[in-house]
Amino acid sequence: MVVLAGGLTFERDVSMRSGRRISAALRHAGLDVDVLDTDSGLLPTLAAHPCDAVFIALHGASGEDGSLRSVLELAGIPYVGSGSTASRLAWDKPGAKARVAAAGIATPEWVALPHSTYRELGAGAVLDLILSRLGLPLMLKPAQGGSAFGAIKVSTVQELPEAMIGAFAYADTVLIEAFISGTEVAVSLIDRPDGPTALPAVEIVPQSGVFDYAARYTPGMTEYFTPARLDGTAAARVAEVALTVHRTLDLSGLSRTDAIVAPDGEVHFLEVNVSPGMTDTSMLPMSVATAGLDLGTVLGDLLRAAAARDPSWRSRAGSEAAESPAEDCALPGPARSIPIVHLPTASG
């Protein structure tokens, strides 16, 4: 089995940490694992040393915008998670919000503002319109991206211009939302044989009041409650919202929906992640543990399901590798072996 981690996005460090956690969990569950980066040697390596399936632990564009998944699909390589088309939609926050809102799920009112429009129409005039429509406070974030890079809460008019500059540093389009006060939760889903299952919600309480990059990945800066401190009705509603998002966007394998439960009980969808973090401070592993499940077993089951969708991949890849010069598939750097893994069956 192969875990893909690293990449060249802002989120490389988080991806490497996720990859280490995933590989350790799978090894603990009795599986052989190799962790590979996404570079020019990846496809030749997978062709020469085919595994049963790939787990994508890449965060940011390469792992979540559908591009890598499209290439894996072209190569016929099975992988865990949503397909390229669904991932592309989920990656685009405004597009995902529009699709989810059309399905009847509440989401904060928003404006998606490209940098070119902001510049050409005049920053002052555009910001005045935004403030008159959405009011204060506001939440700014890149329209595409993860790990809360560039996410900024704006409480005063004076803070807004600088916050826009900060958000545009991470993307050409900024998503500007009305800030919703309430209980922030993350709901992870995993696909089981009988359909997607919502795991216990994680309640997120950052010391700073904003769940930004530092709050997510610095131990001690955020307090987590799993399960979330919600009454039965609210807990059922956040699970229902996450399941609706998963199905509406045609996601598969696993996903994590982030939402706010307002004081009136309304659940507001914020965004969805098709490659949830797996670090020591990530929410999906917390939910798995609270559900009484073993992370390695859960991920191994997802890999078996992915492999079962195309059981002929390894034989096809092996035939193609046999017809290619051996040096074409050599790993860069010091020589090392890549285990050709046969994942055990569910009863194995």
Q: How far is CA 30 from CA 23, 26, 342, in A?
A: 11, 6, 11
**Is 177 annotated in the active site?**
no
The string of pLDDT tens digits covering residues 71-80 is: 999 999 999 9
pLDDT digits (tens, 9 = 90+) for 290-331: 999 999 999 999 999 999 987 766 666 655 554 544 333 333
Q: Stretch 204-227: mean pLDDT, rounded? A: 89
* 239 shares a domain with 318: no
- Does 33 map to a domain? yes
Average pLDDT score over residue span 153-163 = 96
Q: pTM for this one? A: 0.88
- Determine the Cα–Cα distance for residues 326 and 294; give it in Å rounded to an integer: 39
Question: What would you report as the CA-atom Rg of the chain, rounded to the nearest whole angstrom?
Answer: 21
Q: Do both 24 and 143 map to the same domain?
A: no
DSSP label at 311?
Answer: T
Q: What is the CATH number of the domain that holds 46?
A: 3.40.50.20
pLDDT in tens, 118-138: 999 999 999 999 999 999 999
Coil, strand or helix: which one is 226? coil
Neighbours of 286 (CB within 10 A): 21
- 60 and 192 co-located in one domain: no
Is 172 assigned a catalytic role? no
Task: Look over the chain and give the mean of its residue pLDDT values, rounded to a whole number.
Answer: 89
258 and 193 within one domain = yes
Instruction: Indicate whether 72 and 12 sit together in one domain.
Output: yes
Same domain for 59 and 169, yes or no, is no
Do 239 and 269 belong to one domain?
yes
Same domain, 211 and 263: yes
Does a structural domain hold residue 56? yes
Catalytic annotation present for 7 = no
Are the beta carbons of 343 and 103 closer than 8 angstroms? no
Active-site residue among 256, 287, 296, 301? 256
Decide if 327 is catalytic: no
Do residue 192 and residue 265 come from a single domain?
yes
Q: Do 174 and 188 sit in the same domain of this protein?
A: no
Active-site residue 213, yes or no?
no
The domain in which residue 58 lies consists of 2-81+297-329
* Structural domains of the chain, count: 3
